[in-house]
A and B are shown apart, each in its own frame.
Chain A
């Protein structure tokens, strides 16, 4: 415990925490997008979109060993904790970094750093704001509550992504995510001390693949809806039971 505290207190430790929590969230996003892509699958049963089945599975997984939504909440708790730690550590470091250069240069020429790396704080802050909207929209249904159908994921998506504003926001968010991960997915290896010159090129490419892959996959759903590639939800979709 004392050592964890030491880790949390040190600036290298904070980077490590940011790296590990970032990795956890990145792992989650990979699963998330795998789920999203189910929107492209044909209905699981007549009138039942595959993605709705998957959404229902997320709640029931673990049953009967664990009560309803236990596993889902466990995952959510891990994610919330990760997010909080990630944001806290990064903000603390950002404040420190600001103090480390009280007088700014009149002229700065960057040589090696990439723009996405320098924009991490901005992309991260915007992603955080997006996350709040995203949860209010598709998890709690607070936004646009009148049309929100709990567990009718496909329908909710269809309705949302026929409004260009939402499409733009979601595509924008995927671009931000890509930029954030382009640096983050490589940087976490360096922060954890797992990088070395032999692996460097590979890790850079891996980061590129992860960033681009996640971005494109996430963007594909809203784009497909807005272009009409994905049809309307079954008119009389038999609602999956919602406990």
Chain B
């Protein structure tokens, strides 16, 4: 198979970027999308040209590292799939393919297709945890959890933090990510004591990072490789409103040591 690629190239965060056109041929349909770019990169290196910088690590759809907008869709045309799990048999021979990085003010481009997603980490750090130290803990079966609840929590917890939701959202909102993280813990009994504080802090951090606002387009849900439902955004909104009814600043910053 042969493909005409139009890829965003940008030397560094503060350099100006532009699209470059490439052609790769001799690609078998069993090649994954990233292997196709690996092949391109090898050929570029052999010719002494700079390779296309892109991120990937696990290449089995779980680390959330890969981040490409392929022909206008984050992670490409297949629903519920990361870029690394996309295979060239899903494309037509000779098809032009445009590849762009995630576009978001909160995810500045570092180089070519690599962006800085540390904003997500800061959202997590602001409250995406249950305060527990390592050490002896109560017997878990003393606190049964309805399997439906555990499953729903896992539906949210399976977020891989790739940022496709932000990339797909016409407003560049990070609501699906934040909602998934808030709901994962908010659904479980372990997450209850810090539930209201968590949602307030995480939403506040999300705003500080400069993400856009939700207009309920549901593009995030469509782009999410883990198919996380926007019902969790509704849940986030509900929890956030409920949190505003809680006493403000119930306790100061907690000493986690």
Binding site for B on A (CB under 8 A): 2-3, 6-7, 10-16, 93, 96-97, 99-113, 117-118, 120, 183, 186-187, 189-197, 200
Contact = CB atoms under 8 A, between A and B. Distances in A.
B211 A100 contact: yes
Interface centre among A93, A189, A193 (most CB of B within 10 A): A193
Contacts of A2: 248
Contacts of A113: 170, 217-219
Interface string B228-254: 011101111111110011001000000
Contacts of A191: 214, 216, 237
Nearest to B79: A111
B100 interface: yes
A111 B223 contact: yes
B73 A100 contact: no
A227 to B, nearest CB: 38
Nearest to A7: B244
A100 B98 contact: no
Given A190-B237, A194-B234, A107 B215 contact: no
A107 B173 contact: no
A97 B239 CA distance: 23
A108 B103 CA distance: 11
B106 A100 contact: yes
Given A113-B219, A186-B216, A106 B237 contact: no
B222 to A, nearest CB: 4
Given A3-B244, A118-B170, A193-B239, A101 B222 contact: no
A97 B213 CA distance: 6
B72 A105 contact: yes
Interface string B161-176: 0000000101111000
A96 B219 CA distance: 18
Contact of A197 (B69, B229, B248): B229
Given A100-B172, A105-B100, A118-B217, A195 B248 contact: no
A108 B100 CA distance: 10
Interface of B: 6, 19, 69, 71-73, 77, 98, 100, 103-106, 168, 170-173, 203-204, 206-207, 210-219, 221-223, 229-231, 233-241, 244-245, 248
Contacts of A16: 237, 241
Given A12-B203, A99-B210, A117 B106 contact: no
Nearest to A118: B170
Interface of A, secondary structure class, is: helix
Given A7-B241, A113-B170, 20 more contacts: A2-B248, A10-B207, A11-B207, A11-B214, A13-B240, A96-B213, A97-B213, A99-B210, A105-B100, A107-B98, A109-B72, A109-B73, A110-B219, A112-B219, A117-B215, A117-B216, A191-B216, A193-B239, A193-B241, A200-B231
Contact of A105 (B103, B203, B214, B240): B103
Contacts of A106: 6, 19, 98, 100
Contacts of A186: 216
5 contacts: A11-B206, A13-B240, A96-B210, A113-B219, A193-B236
Contact of A93 (B100, B213, B229, B230): B213
A193 B222 CA distance: 20
Contacts of A103: 103
A111 B100 CA distance: 17
Contacts of A196: 231, 234
Contacts of B241: 7, 12, 16, 192-193
Contact of B216 (A93, A99, A108, A183): A183
B74 to A, nearest CB: 10
Contact of A102 (B105, B203, B206): B105
Contact of B221 (A7, A12, A112): A112
A190 B71 contact: no
Contact of A107 (B71, B207, B213, B229): B71
Contact of A101 (B19, B72, B171): B171
A106 to B, nearest CB: 6
A3 B213 contact: no
